[in-house]
Structure 1
C-alpha cells in the first residue's frame, strides 16, 4: 500500500517581495535553539523572554504581525528573519532548551513530522546520534533543512566543537555532498563583502528564479567571518553551488558560500556564515551584526528564497519513488515482564532505502493500530497490561512514504504482575564524552513486577560510596533511574535522573567496579567494568539483552546505533 503524501500545493506565480501570505499558509518553520545558540556573544534565536532561553512561541504572538511590524517586535538576533517569514505567511516556532529532536515520535509535540522547514542556526553543541538520525529522516521524507554555519574556530561555548565541525558530523551517514571547511582547512575563516559570484544556472531558486525575486548583480552576500563549502557531486549529483567567494570560480566544487542539495524527497540549503541572517535586536550582553537589514547586500532576499525553496517552491527537489519496500519478515514477540513485550524482525529491502518501520498492535488479532515508528529492527512495547495476549505486525516505509505489505503476525502473553521487585545495574558510562566527568552515569532498572523503595540505597565504585538515594525514592516496576557524576552533567530531557550526592562518581577509564547496596549495606548487584568496556569515549557498557537480569554487559554500540541511552531503553524507547 502507498501512504497518502502529506504535502502542500503551492501556487507560485512570479512574485516580488510582497508575496500574498496565503501562499504559505500553514507552512511551519522550526528554528532549532537548544544547542547553545545563545552561548558567548551568539544570539541566534527569534526571541528570549529570559536570557539564554528561547521559548517555543516568540512573544508577542506572531498573529499580531503586519506588513509594517518592525524587527524589534521580538527580542532575538533572528527576529528580523522570523518576522519576515511571518509577513510572507509562514508560521514560526523555536525548539527551546529541554526540547527533543525526534522524527515520528507522537509523544513529542515538536516532532519534526509537524514541520516543513528546520533551520539550524550555528549550533555550538554536537547533535546526538539519535538527533542526527531524526534530522536525516526528516529530510529523506520531504523536509527542508537550512544549515547555517560560521567560520572555523568559532567555538562559542568552549567545548572543543564549532559549528562547521558539528554540521559536518550531522551529515555523517548520508550523502548530501556538502562539507563545511573546518579550522586548519583552506578558506575556513575569511571576510568577503560583497560576495556576489553567482551561478550561471538561471533556474537557481536561490539567486535567479527565487520565489521572492532575483538577486541584484554585484550585491550578493555580506560575509563577515565565514567558512566556505566544498561540494562532492560524486556523492550527490544534486549538490549545487549558487554563490562563490570572490576568489573562487563559478561552477567549481570549492570556495562555495551558498549551496543546496537533496536527499530522498527532501531538500538542504547551506551557508558558511551566520552574519547575513542575524540582526542587532539582542540583549543579555550579546553583540551581533545587523546583516539582515544591510541594504548593501541581498542577504534577506537570498535567505527568504532559500526557505521558500526548502518549503516546496520551484523545482530541484528530491527524487520520485513509487516502489514500496519488501515486507519485514521473521517477526517475533517475547513478553519480558507483565508490562513489556519485546519485538524483533528481519530488515526489509528497498530500491532506494528503508527509512523506518511501523509497529501495529492488536488484542483480538483482527483490528490493528499503529503504536510506534522506529528506525531499527526491534522495539520494546511498554506499558502493557498483565495477563494479556498482544498481537503484532510490522511494515516498512521508504523515504517517499511508500509503505510495504505487512509482516507475519507474532503474539505474546504478558505474565501476571506478581513477581517481586528486582533492581539491576543495566548501563554504566565510565568513559564520558569530552572528558567531562559530570557526564559519567550509572543506570539502574527494576526488572521485577512490583515497585520498590530504594531510599537509603547507595552506589559505590571500587574505592568509595559515591551516591545515596534520597528518602522516599521509589523505583517502579520496569522503570529506570540514572545517577550522573553531577547534576550539571545531566543532559536536558533525560528522564528520572539525579546527580551523585557526593558530587562525583569517580569511575576510572582503565576499568572500575560498580556496586549497588541496599539500605542495610547488602550488595544488590555489582559489576566489574573492564578496560575493554571503558575504553571508548562516549560509549557505555549495557546489558544484552537490554534490561535483562541475566544479560551480559557489552559495548552499547553492540545493541544500538547510539553510544548510550541513559534513562531509556537501548533502542530509545521509554522504560
Structure 2
C-alpha cells in the first residue's frame, strides 16, 4: 500500500542552508538506485532520463548548479536532496541498475572505495551476500552509510520483501545496534508530524549541533507513514537515538525515529521514513510527497546535518570529532606540458577517516605560495601560465572535517618559449560507449606544443584501417583539442572542435585495440594500444594522467574526475 500524502507541495528552495561549502569540495555521495528504487509509485532517485533507470551522473551536469538553482533542475523525487548537497560542495552520483556494489575492486569504476557517503533510499530488492559484505566493509573502513527505510508493508515491487526487512538483513553479521520495526512488531507504521521529541544531548550532530544548524522544537521531522527504530546499546554503545515518536520517551531504546551508530572508523545514520527526503518532482507515473520543501518541518536541515556528520563533521552521535589531519602528499612531480601548462602528479595521502580533496599551491619565487586549485584526484593540469617561466608547486590534503595536512615536497617546472614546436598526442579515447551506441565512440587529440599545426590529410587509425581523414584546412592550435566521434550525430551539444569520422565509424573494440594518428605522409605521430582494463566500463573513457601530458599514462577517466568522459574539454571539465 502507498502511504498517505499531504497536499502541501510548495515549490520553494530550502531556506537557511547555503553556507560555505569548501570543507566538502569533491566529497562524493553515492545514491544507490539499483534495488527497485523506482518500483511501483516509488521515485527515490536523483534523476532518470528513461523510466526506471537512474543514470550515474544526473543531467544537466551538476557543475551548472548555483545557489539559486531550483530542485526541478533534475527529474527525480530525490532531486532536492541532491541539488542541496551540490550547493553545499558535495559531488553526487547514482548507482544505476546493472551496476555492481563492491569494495576494493579496482575494475569497478563505482567501487565504494571511491565514495565517502553511501545513501540507501528505501531498497525494494534484497542485497546479495556479496553486496552486504561490501557495504559493511565500506562502513568499517571509514565510510558513512545513510539507511532510509519506510513503513512495514511498503513492498513496491511485490516480491515479498519491503525496506525494513531488507535493511535489517543488510545488518546481519554486524553489531550496529539498530533495528527497523517490521511485520507484527509495534510502531511499524505510523504518522507523526511534527515529530520533534529531541535528545537532550546538546552535542547531537543531527538536531542540536549540526553542521547546518539546530532543528526547532515544534518542527522537526514530518513523518507520513514511518516505521520506528529500536536501538541496542548493549550490542553497540555508540548506537544513539536523536529523535523519538511523540508517544515515545526521550532516551529510551524504542520508538526512535532517527538514530546513528558507528562501526570501526565508519558512521551510520538511520531514519524510518522516506517522505522527509523526497520532493514533488517525479515522472513516469510516480507519486511522491513534497517532504523536503515543506516549511512546516526541518526535514532538509536534519538530513543535510546527517550527511555532513557521515562525511566526517564533528559532533556526538557515535564517533568522536575528527581533529586528525591527513598525511602530507608525497612524490610531487611537475613537468611542463606546453608553454602555458604544467602537469602535476603526486602520491595519495592517508587519513584516519578519509581524504576529501587536495589543494594545489603555486609560486614564482619559491617563497610566497598561493592556492590555485583543488581536486579530488592525484594529478592536476595547471594552465593559463606564462611562457619561459619557472613555477614552483606544493600540495596539501584536506579531510572532510576541514583538517589540512602539512605541505608536500616542492617541485618546479619551467614552461618553454611560446615558439616551441607543435606536438600532437592521443589524449582521451572512449571505446566503451554509453548504452552500446557505437556512434558515441570518440578519440581526442591535443596539441601540447607551443605553436599551431596544420593537420590536413592526417588520419586516425584503428588496428586495421584508417577511420578518419582530417579535411583540408584543419588547423590544431597550441594547447587545443580536436575530437573525432564515430558519427557526427553523437557529438554532444556544446562540444567545440569536434567532427564525425569520415568513414562513418571508429570500430573501437571493448576488448582492446591499437589506435594511432598518422600525418599525411603516413608517419605515425602518436599511438596507443589499450586493453580491456581501460575499456571495460560502459560510458567511461581512458585519459592521459596527468591530463594533456605527452608523458602521461592512460587511466580510467573516473580516477581524474566524477565525469565518465570529457570530449573537447580538460578532464576537470574546463576548456582547452
Q: Same fold (TM over 0.5)?
A: yes
Q: What are the superposed Cα offsets for residues 184-217 of structure 1, whole Å, 9 maximum, x if unpaired?
A: 8943599985367999984597999882336899
Give the direction of change, closer, same or farther, for the CA distance of 1:396–1:207 in structure 2 (3 Å limit).
closer
Q: Is the 8 A contact 2:122 2:148 kept in 1?
A: no
Between the aligned partners of 2:381 and 2:235, the Cα distance in structure 1 is 39
SS at match of 1:404: coil
The Cα shift of 1:513 comes to: 3.6
Deviations 1:313-371 (A, max 9, x none): 99646743444444444544332332222334455555554433322111122322111
Contact 2:458 2:518 in 1 (8 A): yes
Q: Does residue 222 of structure 1 match 2:233?
A: no
> 2:223 touches 2:275 (CA, 8 Å); kept in 1?
no
Aligned pairs, how many?
474
Q: Does 1:213 align with 2:217?
A: yes
Partner of 1:149: 121
Distance 1:483 1:81, change over 3 A: closer
Q: Structure 1 residues 492 and 478 mapped into 2: Cα distance closer, same or farther (>3 Å)?
A: same
Match of 1:301 in 2: 297
Deviations 1:86-125 (A, max 9, x none): xxxxxx9958xxxxx9xxxxxxxxxx5xx44869798869
Contact kept in structure 2, 1:419 and 1:450, CA below 8 Å: yes
**Greater shift after overlay, 376-385 or 325-334?**
325-334
Report whether the alignment pairs 1:36 with 2:47: yes
Whole-angstrom distance in 2 between the partners of 1:563 and 1:287: 28
Task: Return the TM-score normalized by structure 1.
Answer: 0.57
Contact 1:258 1:272 survives alignment (8 Å)? yes
Alignment CA distance shift 1:347-1:413 (3 Å):
same
What residue in structure 1 maps to residue 6 of structure 2? none
Deviation at 1:388, TM superposition (A): 0.8
Name the residue aligned to 2:399: 398
Q: Which moved more, 1:384-393 or 1:267-276?
A: 267-276
Secondary structure of 2:297's aligned partner: helix
* 1-structure distance, mates of 2:148, 2:304: 23
Per the TM alignment, residue 496 of structure 1 is displaced from its structure 2 partner at its CA by: 5.8
Pairwise CA RMSD: 6.5
Equivalent residue, structure 1, for 2:361: 360
| Deviation of the 1:414 alpha carbon | 1.5
- Match in the other structure for 1:413: 414
- 2: distance between equivalents of 1:75 and 1:374? 25
8 Å Cα contact 2:46/2:78 also seen in 1: no
Higher mean alpha-carbon deviation, 423-432 vs 122-131, is at 122-131
Q: Separation in 1 of the partners of 2:205 and 2:278?
A: 18
Partner Cα distance (2:504, 2:257) in 1:
46
Change (3 A) 1:172 1:132: farther
For 1:7-18, list aligned pairs within 5 A. Answer: none
Contact 2:393 2:411 in 1 (8 A): yes
Moved more, 382-391 or 368-377: 368-377
Alpha-carbon deviation of 1:499?
Answer: 5.3
CA drift at 1:444: 1.4
1:446 to 2:464 alignment: no
Question: What's 1:382 paired with?
Answer: 383
Indicate conservation of the 8 Å contact 2:343/2:547, yes or no.
no
Displacement of 1:423: 1.8
Distance 1:304 1:525, change over 3 A: closer
Please say if residues 258 and 269 of structure 1, whose CA atoms lie closer than 8 Å, have aligned partners that are also in contact. yes
User: Could you report, residue by residue, the CA deviation over 1:522-575 in whole angstroms, capped at 9, with x for unpaired residues?
Assistant: 654444445565456566555577645466x65548986889654466688875
Rounded to whole Å, the distance in 2 between the matches of 1:366 and 1:188 is 57
- Aligned: 1:176 with 2:151: no
Per the TM alignment, residue 492 of structure 1 is displaced from its structure 2 partner at its CA by 8.4
Deviation at 1:387, TM superposition (A): 0.8
| Distance in 2 of aligned mates of 1:22 and 1:357 | 30
Counterparts of 1:495 and 1:185 in 2: how far apart (Å)?
51
Alpha carbons 2:121, 2:147 under 8 Å: kept: no
Is the alpha carbon distance of 1:391 and 1:258 closer, same or farther for their aligned partners in structure 2, counting shifts above 3 Å?
same
TM-score by length of 2: 0.57
Relative to 1, partners in 2 of residues 1:556 and 1:288: Cα closer, same or farther, differing over 3 Å?
Answer: closer
Separation in 2, partners of 1:509, 1:80: 34
Distance 1:349 1:503, change over 3 A: same
SS in 2 for 1:301: coil
Q: Cα gap change, 1:351/1:425 in structure 2, threshold over 3 Å: closer, same or farther?
A: closer
Superposition map of 1:83-232 within 5 A = 94=83, 112=86, 115-116=87-88, 136=116, 147=119, 149-152=121-124, 174-178=142-146, 186-188=161-163, 194=190, 202=199, 211-213=215-217, 220-222=223-225
- Please give the per-residue CA displacement for 1:379-412, whole angstroms capped at 9, x wherever unaligned: 3322221111112223333333233343443322
In 2, the alpha carbon distance for the partners of 1:268 and 1:180 equals 11
Structure 2: unaligned runs, 5 residues or longer: 1-12, 32-43, 101-107, 126-131, 150-155, 166-181, 183-187, 209-213, 246-251
Q: Distance in 2 between matches of 1:487 and 1:241?
A: 55
Q: Is the 8 A contact 2:192 2:223 kept in 1?
A: yes
In the other structure, the counterpart of 2:509 is 508
The corresponding residue for 2:38 is: none
Whole-Å Cα distance in 2 between the matches of residues 236 and 499 of structure 1? 61
Distance 1:93 1:563 in 2: 16
Q: Is the 8 A contact 1:57 1:94 kept in 2?
A: no
